[in-house]
Structure 1
Amino acid sequence: MIGAGTNAEGAAAEGSNPNAAPSTSKLTIEREKKRIAIRSANLQVWQDGPKALKGPLDSNMKKNTAFIKRIRQTLGAETKDQLIKDATSLNLDKYIEEIVQAIPEGLSKCNTSKDCIAAAESLGSLHARFATSLFAQPLSTMLASQLVMPSRVTLQAMSADQREKEEQTRVQKQRIMFKAAAELAITELIRQEKGKSKADPQDDPEYPGQEWLFTMLKDLLVNDREHSNVPILISLLKSLGSTLIGSQNGQDNVTEMMSKVNLAESDSVVKNETQAKFRKLFETYFSTLGKRIVKEHSRLQEQDKRNHEAYIRSGEIFEDRQQNYEKMAKTFERMHEWGKTLSDLLGVPLPPLSTDAKSVPSNSLAVNLDSRSTLVERDDGEFVSGKSKWEDEETRRFYEELVDLQEMVPPALLQQGQPKAKTGDGKAEADPQNANGKDGEKSAVASPQLNAKSIQDDKDAEKSKGFEENVAEGLAAGPAAQLNAFLASLTEMSNRTMIDSAAVDFAFLNNKIARKRLVKQVLAIPRNRSDLIPYYARLVATLNKYMPDVGAGVIEGLDEEFRFLQRKKNVDMAETRAKNTRFLGELVKFEVTPIITIFHAFKVCLDDFNGPNIENIATLLETCGRYLLRNEETSERMRSSLELLRRKKAAQNLDARQLVLLDNAYYQCNPPEREAVATKKRTPMESYINHLIYDVLARRKEDRVLKQLRKMNWKDEVTLETLHNVFTRSWRIKFSNLHLLAVVLYDLQTYHFDFVVHVIDTVCEQIRVGMETNIFKDNQRRVATIKYLGELYNYRLINTDIVFEQLWSLASFGHPQGRPLPGQISPIDAPDDYFRIRLVCTLLDVCGMCFDRGELRERLDDYLLMFNIYILSKEQPLPMDIDFMLSDTMDTLRPDFVLKRNFEEAAVAVDAMLQRQQAAAAAAAAEEAQPANVAGKADAVAGEVDEDEDDVSSVSSSSSEESEEDAPRHVSKDDASTDSESSSDEDGFEDEEQAEEDAEANAHVRRERSAIDEEAEDEFERELAKMMAESNTAQGSNSNNKRGLFDIGIPFIKRTAANQNADNPSTAASRPAGSPEIIAQDGIAPEQHMRFSLLSKRGNKQHTQDVHVPIDAALAVHSRAAEQKQLAERQQLKKLVLGMETREQAEDRSTLEASLAKKGFRVRQQQQQGRE
């Protein structure tokens, strides 16, 4: 492109209208003339200094402040005239620092080339007024600090999202700043200090400003691994491309256009040599971008192929795989667009994107369904059977899949580590890549213009050649501080990703001295850090491809150390010997150590087969023996060495330690032949069910799994058994997803109730079998099972009795009479076995919060007393992990409950608890054995009404309990949101299908319940008819003694009630119906007995008899406690009702006052009238 701007004029130049070309060329020439004029004025200031202004200057603070503010706002074309006028009329000597600090902000508003040139003119007027040490040099330093990339340490400390956002902000800001700074640099307003030019260090350049720009661009592009600075380069080339890099695609460059208007080449803005430097730098960066595009395209094709295979295999593409593919596609599209734009601007073709014929496009259906994965075949046939060089696939990737530095580092940085081709005929040296025999293609960084003009003159060619070498050295040079920091951080590189990143970092610091220091640092690995040896070997192997002297230096150092250790056989240096031999073995697997070197080490150790050499042989066999034995090139030689080792071992009298050491190393190197582990063959339906439960089941996907399970053939025995297995083997699912398995089982009970019951029985049986066998290897399964049982209780699949039954069995099963005692040995629960405590804590952590009130709280408190006995029966003190787990559980459930540390105290508390339970059980049994109605001297009708009310309340409470049984006890917020979110994802058709299925299931349940109700109703009618027949018979025989309806069941109550009402009506009315009475007659003290009425029947006659029960008997205590409890409940209910009414009145009053206050009225206390 010829145009230099991105504004409307530049857009016209870039258009396809041929008539716009003359006007664009004219505009470009005018801008070049203006730049030359500005540069001449700035060079004059740099040479002669500023000129003194004539006349007085205005020192008004308001105007000076307005001037600085105007600079901050913009330095564009609209403010140029005013800024130039103020710069020559205001006294700005006191504000130079503020002006310099405000200029970068003003430059960030210059978006177009017109604004950038105007900024250069405005700042040129300030440059002419002030000394360069006060204005130009501080401005150069400030702009340089804002145009560099942030340090890698700062970026690595950020998260991925923060790093991406920070990079986007930086690129957006620097994209504008670089255009403005480039205008200032080529007009020589800002420049590099004398003697500090990296491109030509021997003499100062003619135009230091252009050298400053070249240095800034080089530092920006060379350190850009991720190619995030491509938008900056594109924006700069669109604005100043023809000025910085000359012609492209046969178009006339600015120099040629300037010559057409009778201007000399020396007067052009940028000379040809400088343009060649910029072009080489840009094309080098473009070549790395092209390789990145090719690599991203290849990765995208591979991912597309894997996604397609996964879709054919499982019928869907998982969310993480799809997101990864979309991310890769987005990255490739962005890089490809940048590459095409740079290709047009530089005139260099973009590398072609290869199409892999083997890859399957995402929209293709040509898939061989009979083919098998090569990885699966390798896993079955090689890795498991021992035929492969590697133990597994991950090991193979570690040693074979190395980072290619050429894809991430500019080639100029890698050429220094490669040997140069020697020439004897005086011709120019060959390209380093061609010297290595890699490929014979022409280098992409060659400049057509540079070659065309430099071949004519040998002097120019030598100068250009020296410049290229300087550029390469400049690209690879780095501060010594960075190298020191890099070498110091090597000991922290303890994984594959970090060591690969370290290899790339060193490539940017590559030079001869750095490579020597790296070799020395690698050889000085600490003796006790043998874990770093594989990663150091990977680093050496990665660098060895482009820096052969690194691998050669490490091998030479290790070989010298090995020879030294052989001479010091009597010195105890076991760690150093192990480090040396293992390092050699690791480099063998990376194909860095020559084969002759490693077999020489084997031969030396076998020739002197004693002492430390036995350990050396064992280390070599463990490290690289398998690789050498299964490598085709070294297999025969390695077998011979192993045979020689076997003979020497048999011939010498070695101690047991050395024999075991050699045997382990031998079998690790050459394991015995064995078949691959047979994989269980599963039916497609079984595999799909396992996939649903173990892979798909997660939050927000329970409904989806439930629908798929309901579509199964539940009448098929094989399918039903598979479902039963996945729902009962809770240890195979993720521990955090056990509640989801309980959720699905809860939803299935509506449709398959028998199946759910069978699952619950199996889970309880698994817990019992675990206690009976107590096998250590099943402990993890037992923990998962007990947690699963707690989740079943949380979702109301089991009742409280089952939970407490399991808790009590965990504390008593296997002990004589169910009482654990200290020192008592149980075959299935030893005193030093604390695993049952862990199971109890796990179960209580899951569902213990449900036992926090009422009868359940009392039951849990009673159990904790027994659990305390069980804990004290174990050996004390408890292990730390068990003690902490127990403390956490108790703090959550019963913060006030203190576990007793003395067994006698705990035993007394348990005995009291057991006696209390026995008394309560006896009282309950007595009530069941005595079918008498417990009554006092209360009104009969009132008593019957109260009984009816109690019946109604009991029915309502039972119905409410049943309704509560239908819903889970506690459902987390995530589960609640899960249901709403998952249900919203289904389409209308699935909702209709679900509704139909639910309607059918509900109708089936109603039919079953109606059948049960009909049978119960028929039974009730038969019993009622029988009872009526007996009643009629009794009435016929006793027609003279007819009684009222209410006298049939409770004759004593009515008689006593009538007497009571006659004697003391107020007392009868105040006593609750059915309450026992403390009597004082027949010589019995009123405080010692209670009178109950016993109803009996002889034939068809009913008789009542008074029974005097001692006041401290269980029946009397229970009756009085029940009466007091009912009274307390009535009082509490009355209090709540009254309190609710009071609160409602207060709320109504406050609402009224608030509404009146909004209207401007104020309500006084005890007065309802307001005043405006």
Structure 2
Amino acid sequence: MTDWPRLADRQWVQETNKRVKAQETHRSSLVGVESTDENALHSLDSTLKKTTAFMKKLKSLSAASIPSLIEELSRLNLSKFVEEMAAGITETKLKPSDVIPIVDLCVAIASRYPKFSELILTEIKKCLPLKRADKISNPAKLRIDVRLLCELILCGVVGKEGLQTLGATLSYICITDKGEHLNVGLICSLCRPVGWQIAGIVPSPEGNEGVSIEQGDLEMSEAITPEHRKVVNDLFTNYHTGLIRHLEKACAVMNVVQKKVKRHERTRGDATVEEKAELETARAEYERLKALASELSSALGVQMVELKEEPSDNEEDEMAAMEMDKALAEGHVSLWPDDESRLFYENLIDIRNIVPRSLYKESEERTIQENELKTSVDDIDVDGLEAEPAEREGDVDVGEKEENAAELDRPKTPPSPAQFNEDMTSATDASMITSEEIKQLAQKFFLNLDHLVNRDTTDQCALDFVSNLNTKSYRKKLIKVLYGVPSSRLDLLPFYARLVASLSPVMPDLTTELSTMLIKQFREFVQRCGQERVEEKIKCVMFIGELVKFGVIPRAEALSCLRQLVYDFRGHSVDMVCAMIETAGFYLYRNSDSHPKMKIILDVVQKKKERIKDVRHVMLIDNAFFACIPPADSAAARRAQAEPPLMIFIRHLIVDINEHNVNTNIKCIRRLAWDDETVASWCLKYLTSPWLLPYSNLLHLASAVAGLQGLTYYDWISTYVIDACQEMIRISLEVPGLFNQKAIASACYLGELYNYSVCDTPVIYKVLYQIISFPETDPLAWQEFYRVRMVCELLNTIADFFQTGRARRKMDYFLTYFHRFYWMKREQWKVNVVMVEMPGAEEAGDNAVIEPPRFPADVEAEYRECMRHMRKSAPLPKDLAEAENAVEQIEQQLKEKLALASGSADEEEEEEDERKVLDRTLHEIAEEDGEEYGSDSERPPAIIAEDDADEKVCVHVEKPVIQPEDEEFMRQLDRMLADQVKVVPQQTSVAAAANPSVDMTVPAAVRNRFQRQICFEDSPGGSKNAAENSKPSMKVSLMARGKGNKLVLKTVSIEESALHEAWKKEREREEVERADIKRVTLGHTARIFAEEEQEMRQQIYSHSRFN
């Protein structure tokens, strides 16, 4: 309605411009009027005869008498009759043509008597409906009053208060008339004369002689602001939209009735009188609404919508039903998927021929009225299911609401489920047999109901109940047990339905009560969306579907249930539709009478699936669709697409791994042909797919990878698995919404790998910081919290290893940034959800207080639980500002440490140079051949001082760590030297030869000097002689006895030989073996700890369950 240029009537344009100029003239004449000029009034005629005559003329106003009244007004003093003049003008019966002259008279009176404006507005308010409780008693007078009020506002007689009164009146007219649309004529009477001034409306030309006009071709009144015009325009537009919706609904109702009448005329020859009368009523309502919509569309200047009055005949549906019936008759298709199902649902036990009639004579008679379920498939209307419901409370159409309301007036209907349960718990039947044998049989029977697993046991239960327990009280108890089947035992529903179908011929009341209770429960679930668990809803629709397949509940009722669910296809309705289609969809699709309707419902479900974003719901819809219409693929094609047996075996080894078979599976995986690229690719595919395993088995898969890492030729597998996990997390961040579950599983898997020492701490920190720092490009990312969930899952997995020391400090840094990330996401959600999901004021009501939506409780609970696991006593930030301050403090501390480290860099370089000089001086210390010193007391003072200096220098040098192998080597060297000393010449004294075990102990000072030489031997600052000698050699100090039986330490250079190389290789082999034993031992220890913990949990669970 704001597009220019527009088509308009030329005469209307001229009249509108003329009228706007006249209104502006009146406004300018009233601008200077502030108070009454008393001197001027005293000079006028105020005789009672003339003033009384004037007031009589005023009460019988007409367009012809107004000019004379205006002339007399200028000669009379009517200051005492201002209130009577205002009341007389508003009470006079006026015609639409009298409004403009009346407005001229009001302008003349207001220019002479300023208080007239307030008085006439008060009188007009008395005639206008301003509250919702007001009623319109005289619509014709209301048209004149609203038109008069608009003209008075535009001419300046009434000001801002009058504009508020007009807004309240128009709001009442448009908002309170959404159902009947009785005020269309009133709105149309305003749009043509004053629609442009008050709402910017250009009416459509009445004939074909319209002219194109621009916005500047029309004069605009300054009495109403553009904002007020927009408000009035929106009111009229919304009213017009509601009328069009009402018209479309009436058209749909008429089409349905007309389709039914035509179908009956084609199939039966003629329709009933009631159906024809219903069609005439629907057509009359449609014609009335169409005329009103056409009139209002012309007045508002919008194009009238085109509606299809004549619906297409239902010939296509009839042809489809005939084709299905022919295919069933010829045997091309079957009503059941296999022979076993056909026998289960069709071959029921005939209790009448097995049990004597005396046992079921009482229960065979129907004592309650049969439930009024829909039995005709033709009565189910599946048209209009593709449209989205306008309002939540309008999910069920008017016919269904009337039907539900009419159920309250039915005579002696079965009780509701709640009332039934109360009656069962409170009532006691006098006919209850008190025999202990009967009680035992009843107890055994009801216990056996939980173990119905085949047809034979179900049929035997039916026979036992009819033979032994066929009393009123036990029949009620059986209904209660069947109705209250647990939602976790959905496998019992087919057998319970077979039991009910078997008992139906001899116990019609049981069938009637149970089916009525289920249908009522279903309707309660549909009307009260989201208040019950979805498991109960799924159980209800599956039970109804099973009873439909046995013929206990008509197929038309099942189609009606599906229609109600598909109409509002969202939330739990999706789960209920999928469960019902999987249960009875195949049966309804293959029946000739329900096939056309079921086909339409399936098509609508497929179309509405495109609007669903939940991956789980999409998967459920696909499964239900293919369960109803299986794909027509051949057995050969399925065999061609079958997986190789070796691939299935590999998937079994990895996917089915648990605490009991982890060691066996590791051995089998190790023995696979890893040199084959196909086998290796299969193994790596499943080793890097943690989402295929249950969450509790991820630690066992990580244990298997750790076990493979400890083997010599399989250590590369762990690196591949870690890279794959990181890659999946990275992909989920780059393409959000597609791999969220896989990424969360990969994060948990990576944490378990860290627990088994497969990956290092830097990998964990890299992933954590990547998750919270990767940029979000999706504009709807504020709705997703999978990053928070991913971080929480990873932290919960690795929390025990970051509680002390340096790891705890680094983790505290990350948690500070994670707190900020969490509160940033929370603030984004808070800002966006207010703009997107906040309900409007009109929907909430006038006095309703609109509360903003609450942050998702599951995300907040997971975050707080993770923080309690990581830091039990640490306080959490309460808002984003507090989290930002914590990050700033951490960064400031790190900057200060970095500044201190950079300031001491020069000092460290100087110390490093001093160390190099000291290294060179220490290398120059060498023992001379023939040097003999037994102890420090026998050495020269210079050398002792030099040793002291060396000891002082060593304070600045890192003390070498002597390995156990080096100590063993020193002991062997001492023993070898001792053996060499024992071999002396024959000239040695008898006393010396008599001592077979000479104990030679290396002095402490010599040992220290020897250790310093070995420690600095390989440093870069060696002497020139050592650098010139390029031939590799190893210096060894030998201790012997010199003159006077004194110890002599000599340095000998030994070249590398085969003995030295063999010793070196043996040492490397021992190190590798020791590392392998260490890894295997740690892996076994972790697995034993996990097994003990699992056994403890099972014992606790068993003990608690037993108690």
Same fold (TM over 0.5): no
TM-score when scaled to structure 1?
0.32
TM-score when scaled to structure 2? 0.34
Greater Rg by CA: 2
Q: Relative contact order (C-alpha < 8 Å, sep 6+): which is higher?
A: 2
